[in-house]
A and B are shown apart, each in its own frame.
Chain A
Amino acid sequence: MADLIQTNELTPRILRIVAETQRKDPSLVTVDSSFEELGIDSMDGINIIFALENEFNINVPDEEVKTIRSVRDIVEGVIKLVEAGSTPGESAPAAS
């Protein structure tokens, strides 16, 4: 799974958004960064999910948000939702 995450075309976009919302240098944010390293708390996590929902036109259920503990969880979760949805690819398509 790790290799697939690293090579997925969505991963750089997801990491970029995590970095942008946290006002971090993008080079510091990797799939293996921990929330502790990046200083991400639960409210930051909700802000990141909000930005990703807008970017990829996905909806992350409350229950899934509660299980997110790491950047890897975020990347895996977003890829899964985008691949399951009908509108992968370009950012922010019109809401259906």
Chain B
Amino acid sequence: MRRVVVTGIGVICGLGRNREEFTSGLHKGRCGIGPITTAECLDLRFRNGAEVKCFNPEDHFSSKEADMIDRFAQFAVVAAREAIVQSGIEWTGELRENTAIVTGSCVGGQSTENQGFWDVYKMGKPRVHPMTIPKTMANAGASAISQEFGITGPAFTISTACSSSAHAIGQAFSMVRSGMSDVAITGGSEAPFSYGILKAWEAMRVISPTVCRPFSKDRNGMILGEGAAMLVIESLDHAQARGATPIAEIAGFGMSSDAHHITQPSAEGAAKAVRMALKDAGIAPEQIGYVNAHGTGTSVNDITETAALHIAFGDHAKRLAISSTKAMHGHTLGAAGAIETTAAILALSTGILPPTIHFNEPDPECDLDYIPNCAREADIEYALSNSFAFGGLNAVLALRRI
């Protein structure tokens, strides 16, 4: 099987509008959370979210293009452009045929759909915008990337709630490793801020009225976020042949399903995905130095994830450096796996581990090292990025410094 490396990273989210801002935000432990401005939320029990700041579509697209794709797909394209520029790829007809696009999205063009429903249900209008269906579909980001770069290889979208883009990267990794594709553009995007979906999250009673404090005893829920991260991945041979500089290696991928409960996570299920990722990478638990945790900041997730790490790592769990960067960029749902894998790759490549910010006090049930509040320098070879979705679908990526 071929080794698979990352040669380009693009990111846009509440913590930063590009790779440089995102990296600096991670290192400084900056908070990208603030009052939600792009959706109605006056009657909600929460006010805060991690929005992409000052996003003007016409800075990135012609007015006509911007009208044709939803915000979530715009984020996908913006991130893909940045990743492709960094990768230095020069497109040829053959390469366009041998490149795959695999994206993740949980809710697709939610704000477009919300607008259409608002028009007919609330305003009593007789028609919705004709682009509502193609703007709403979850694969709109993958299609927009394909059109932008003329990429004609396999392109599709995976939707597994909060694991969507981790599953997407895992799938793209498998395709490149097997030789099915030489290159893949993979990641995820999400733009979930619209009134209807915010009401739905309110009803689940898992959103914090303040900020996200993963693993801290006084945590009180998650904070929603939006954005995208895209990676250019390719076989090591392909990267070397064109003189590209690998940023990191994707070493392994593990998946599992809990077969347990639609919303309650299972420590055993999560631990199994971690073990599968280690096995796939061919490494021992002791070789992992950093874990970018799923760490949503809900009471149950953080306890269960801690238990899962104890199960999967045994005594080594206490020596792991772990952080949840969701405290900075929010829970970006279908983009979370990609944004957090990006954070883990940047931790390996820069030698600075991002902190878990807003950490106030240890919880006896969360008894590991969560890198509280301040970034930490560390020379780490292997890292994991954990994603555990509603529906009990788990995806863990193993990453290696190059």
Contact B261–A65 (Cβ < 8 Å): no
Interface residues of B: mostly helix, strand, loop or mixed?
loop
CA distance A65 to B262 in the complex (A): 19
Is A3 part of the binding interface, using a Cβ–Cβ cutoff of 8 Å? no
Whether B209 is near chain A, meaning CB under 8 Å from some CB there, is: yes
At the interface, yes or no: B264 with Cβ under 8 Å from chain A?
yes
Answer yes or no: B204 CB below 8 A from chain A CBs.
Answer: yes
Pairs of residues from A and B, 9 with the lowest C-beta to C-beta distance, nearest first: A62-B205, A43-B263, A65-B205, A46-B205, A62-B45, A50-B203, A41-B264, A46-B204, A43-B262
Task: List, in ascending order, chain B residues with CB within 8 A of A61's CB.
Answer: 45
Q: How far is the CA of A67 from the CA of B252 in the complex (A)?
A: 41
Please measure, in the bound complex, the distance between the C-alpha atom of A22 and the C-alpha atom of B106, giving whole angstroms: 28
Asked if B261 and A41 sit within 8 Å, CB to CB, the answer is yes
The distance from the CB of B311 to the nearest CB of chain A, in whole angstroms, is 22
Check A62 against B262 for contact (C-beta < 8 Å).
no
Count, chain A residues at interface, CB 8 A: 9
Residues on the A chain within 8 Å of B264, using CB:
41-43
The A-contacting residues of B in range 184-210, CB under 8 angstroms, are 203-205, 209
Query: Given the complex of chains A and B, what is the CA–CA distance between A5 and B205 in angstroms?
Result: 27
Which residues of chain A from 38 to 83 have any CB-CB distance to chain B below 8 Å in the complex?
41-43, 46, 50, 61-62, 65-66
Cα–Cα, bound, A65→B261 (Å)? 20
Interface membership of chain B positions 5-28, coded 1 if the CB is closer than 8 angstroms to chain A and 0 otherwise: 000000000000000000000000
Tell me the complex Cα distance, A43–B299, Å.
Answer: 14
Tell me the bound Cα distance from A65 to B207 in angstroms: 13
> A62 vs B221: C-alpha distance in the bound complex, in angstroms?
10
**Which residues in B have their C-beta under 8 angstroms from that of A50?**
203
Interface size on B, residues (CB 8 A): 12
Please give the residue numbers on chain B whose beta carbons come within 8 Å of chain A beta carbons, in ascending order. 45, 203-205, 209, 221, 261-264, 299-300
Q: In the complex, A38 Cα to B384 Cα: how many Å?
A: 40
In the docked arrangement, what's the CA distance between A62 and B46, Å? 10
Question: Measured between alpha carbons, how far is A45 from B204 in the docked complex, in Å?
Answer: 11
Q: A23 to nearest B CB, angstroms?
A: 16
Q: How far is the CB of A49 from chain B (nearest CB, A)?
A: 8
Query: How far does the alpha carbon of A43 sit from the alpha carbon of B391 in the complex, in Å?
Result: 13
**Could you list some 5 contacts between A and B, CB below 8 A?**
A43-B261, A43-B263, A43-B264, A46-B204, A61-B45
User: Per-position contact with B for A12-31: 1 when CB-CB < 8 Å, else 0?
Assistant: 00000000000000000000
Q: Kindly list chain A residues whose C-beta atoms are within 8 Å of the C-beta of B299.
A: 66
CB distance from A71 to the nearest CB of B (A): 19
B45: chain A residues within 8 A (beta carbon):
61-62
Set of chain B residues within 8 Å of A62, measured between Cβ atoms = 45, 205, 209, 221
A41-B261, A43-B264, A50-B203 known, 16 other contacts, Cβ within 8 Å: A41-B264, A42-B264, A42-B300, A43-B261, A43-B262, A43-B263, A46-B203, A46-B204, A46-B205, A61-B45, A62-B45, A62-B205, A62-B209, A62-B221, A65-B205, A66-B299
Q: List, in ascending order, chain A residues with CB within 8 A of B204's CB.
A: 46
In the assembled complex, how far is the CB of residue A39 from the closest CB belonging to chain B, in whole angstroms?
Answer: 12
CB distance from B46 to the nearest CB of A (A): 9
The chain B residue with its CB closest to the CB of A50 is B203
* Residue from the set B45, B205, B262, B300 with the largest chain A CB neighbour count within 10 Å: B205
